[in-house]
Structures are given as structure tokens and as C-alpha cells.
Amino acid sequence: MRSIWLRFDSIEMVWTTTLLAVVVALLCVVGSLVYYIIRKQSYWKDRGIPYLKPAFFLGIFKGIGTTVHVTPVLKEMYRTGKGKHPFSGAYLLIAPAAVINDPELVKNIFVKDFHYFHDRGGYYNKKHDPLTAHLFNLAGQEWRFMRNKLSPTFTSGKMKMMFPTIVAVGRQFCEFLQQTVTEGEGGCEVDLLDLMARFTTDVIGTCAFGIECNCVKDPEAEFRVMGRKINEKPPSGLSGVLIMLAPNLAKKLGVRFLPRDVSEYFLRVVRETVDQRLKHGIKRNDFMDLLIGMLDEARPNGSGNGEDMLNFNELAAQAFLFFAAGFETSATLLSWALYELALSEEIQGRARQCVKEAMDRHGGEMTYDAIMEMKYLDQILNETMRKYPSIPLHFRIASKDYPVPGTDSVIEANTPVLVPIYAMHHDPQYFPEPDRFDPDRFTPEAIADRHPFAWLPFGEGPRMCIGLRFGMMQSRIGLALLLAGYRVQPCPRTTIPMEFLITSFILYPKDGMWLKVTKV
């Protein structure tokens, strides 16, 4: 009996010793991990750079998207180094990032020293998620090749070719709006954010895919539904961490950025569009025509040499970018512009007069030349992008160690570089009373008096937005058509002041853009 108890005691001692060893090992691992994170988040302190104190492991991301919008964090990062150093430090989780607060340094990064900062560091996965391999994300020679191929598609001449198509969609939009307004006595309350998104979806669906989407009339049209899904569920959890901290591993593991159903839908739509046009020789003078002209499959007997042509997935990715980047940014731009016009009868009146005078000079028609003469509308749109830039932050990544001019500091290779344009656009040094909406900030004289890199909604340099001409054209047309026929005013459902939707990186109004619309 005694020997049995001794055996049990021995077993218990072994288990206790083993458990103790496991606990000690776990504590060592956890302690080492904590020490590693603390050391990683001491990077800027060790280099004497002003920095925003990071949350443990989460860095700047604590609360973003759950309790706070990204914009106040951008302002805080910007102010941390302002007047002390050309850039400050922050942490994307545990990865150090440089936050630029000096427009002269922005100029160097975007233009003068572009060879140090030619990539954005965006995630793309050609094999498992081919639509992400578009111009915005591509790096190195892949980006350079695609940029050179696509640049000729956005000339003023190509914009003139697409102009009638956009106006036709705009007139359909106005017909729908007229029916909606007529149904309400003394005007009606409309969520213009939703309506503008349906308008721009129709425009880009037509120009990029040759599809009559009819989203204005049917908000649940499939094209619109898929458009909404693009940013509804960005990668989160382990997938999001892998994409940010270990993108090469994420690619090998097949991590996707886009929802599978969205990717499959757009690939199918592009394939059907290309096949139909090639089979029937259809020409529409739109963006898809221009892409098909670069498609290797389009060459008789496969005569394309493959080096200066696009394959199908590359074509589909550029068409997808044109849609995804174009409809949301233009829709929010128009919505915020109409919001500010609703709050200022004086500015709205000047804008309507600008539209009327330009159209009168062109026989009452909405011609390309008439639109280009509406300079005050440009000022309104520019001021809207100043106050509400659709994308509040530009990204770059250092390709090699960059000695920062005028300092002893170095932005080391592979360091993300953040240009917080929302914060810069709200800096009273460049824009006095930044919360006031004033289109006269963008008269030629006012622009000449300001640092040219203090206003950057489209970026600048070789990687600036390639589609800015198209985006501005569809925004001018949409705004001009609305002002020519309708008046916008606040209504009981209008939120004043507006708040941003916390969960969105793009500057969406939290509760929609409800305004009263009446016939002029």
C-alpha cells in the first residue's frame, strides 16, 4: 500500500514539475514578446524624433473605427511634430511610420526625391485576388509599366470623347429627380449621398463597362449592390494584421483583400463586356474601349508581343480601379459640396449664376466647353476637397534610406510615410479659419499666395491620381445639372454640424446627407 502511495506522489511531483516548467516557459515567451513590442515602439524615442505615444501593440489604431474616426488621430499626429521637426513618428501597430507635417518635405517626397518613394506599399495578390493588382497598389516596374500604358487614356481629348456619355447619364438622373421632387409638395427630403453614389455608379458603369446600370432608378441594382460591398468588410483580425505586418506571407497564404463574390462578379462582367465587344466589333469611345486596345488577346492571331500589352486580369484590375476609386470619391465630393451650398444661399446663388451664364454663352446647352468655363464650380469643388478630402491620408514607403534635407534624421528603408492631408487642409497656417467653407480660397491669386503642396486631394508627382480629369468632369457635370434645375436647403433630418462615419476611412457623413430639394 505504501509503495502505491509513493508511486502516486512521484506522478504528482512529475506533473507539478512539468506544469511549473510550462508556466515558466510561457511567462518567458510572453515576457520576451512584451519586451519585443516595447522595444519596437521605442524606435522614434531612441532617435529623438517627436512622436505620438502609441497604445501597446495597437499603435495609432486604438479606438479607430470603433470609438473614434481616423481624422482627429491624423490631426494629433500632424501637430505632434509641427514646428519642431519636418516629420513626427507614429506606429502602425508596432511598425514605425513617419508622419510628414512640412509641405516642402512633401514636395521632396512626391516629386523631387520620388525615386526614394515610388511605391505606396499597398497590398495586392495577383494569384488569389487579381483585381487588387491595379495601378493604385502596384509597385516598382509593374507600376511604371501600367502607368505608362494608362496615362494616354486620361488626356483632355479622351475626356471630350466620354463627355456626351456622362451628360446623357446626368440627364437621366435629372429626370428621375424631377419625378421625385414633383411627388412632394414644396420639394422633398432626399439622401443625396445615396443618390449621388447611384449617379456616379451609373456614369462609371457606363464608361468603364458599357453597362446601363440604372442604379438611379433602382438602388438595389446588382452593380450598385456590389459597389457598396467593396468597402463594407475590409480584412480584419488575423488577415488584417498579416496584410499590414507580413504582406509577403499573406500573399503566400492566399489572403484576399476583396470579398470573393465581389471579385467574381467584376471579373465576370469584364469578361462578358470584352467578349461581346470583340465578337461584334462594338466601339463606344469609353474607358473599356481604350483598355481593350491594349489587350493582348485582342490582337489577330496573337500578334501582340506580350511585353507592351495587358493580359485579361490586368485589364480587369484597371477597370475595377476606375470603378471603385471613381464612384465613391466623386459621390462624396458632390454630397459634401451640396451640403455646404445648402448652408449658404449666397454661395449657392453665385454657383447657379455661374452655370447659367456659361450655358447661355453656348446656346443653353451643357457642352464640354461650357462645363470647362464654370470656374466658380471648380472653386467650390476644390474647397470641398480641402475641407472634406475623400481620402484623408496619402501613403508612401521608403525604398532606401532617405536623409531628410535640413536635418540629421534619416527615414530608413521600408518605413511607411504618411502625408495626413486632412490635417494639412485644416491647418490655419495655410487655410485661416479652416472650418469655414470659402470657395474664394481657390481664386488664382489665393492659390499663388499659398504653398503649392498645402492642398493635395489628388496627391502630386508621378503617382498623383491618374483619373483626376475624369473625376472632376463628372463632378462638374453632376453639380451643374443639379444647380441648373434645383435648389438644396437644410431640412429637419440634416445633421448640423456633420459627423463622419467612424467605421469608414473615406469621409462619409454618419447619418447620410439628407437635404431638401426643390425645383428652381
Q: Angle CA(329)–CA(431)–CA(434) in degrees, nearest 5? A: 70
> CA separation (Å) from 281 to 224, 261, 284, 298?
28, 30, 10, 11
Give the span between the Cα atoms of 73 and 52, in whole angstroms. 10
For 55, counting Cβ atoms within 10 Å of its Cβ (0-12 exposed, 13-18 middle, 19+ buried), the class is middle
Which DSSP symbol is given to 486? E
Q: Which residue has the cell 451664364?
A: 357
Whether a cis peptide bond, with omega within 30° of 0, leads into 509 is: no
CB 187 within 8 A of CB 491: no
Give the span between the Cα atoms of 199 and 212, in whole angstroms. 12
Q: Are strands 394-397 and 188-191 parallel, antiparallel or unpaired?
A: unpaired
> Mapped to the 3 state alphabet, what secondary structure does 166-215 carry?
HHHHHHHHHHHHHHHHHHCCCCEEEEHHHHHHHHHHHHHHHHHHCCCCCC
Give the span between the Cα atoms of 228 and 388, in whole angstroms. 20
Give the span between the Cα atoms of 203 and 218, in whole angstroms. 14
465: annotated binding-site residue? yes
Q: Are strands 95-100 and 416-419 parallel, antiparallel or unpaired?
A: parallel
> CA separation (Å) from 182 to 179, 185, 188?
5, 7, 8
Residues belonging to the binding site are 465
Residues belonging to the binding site for heme are 465
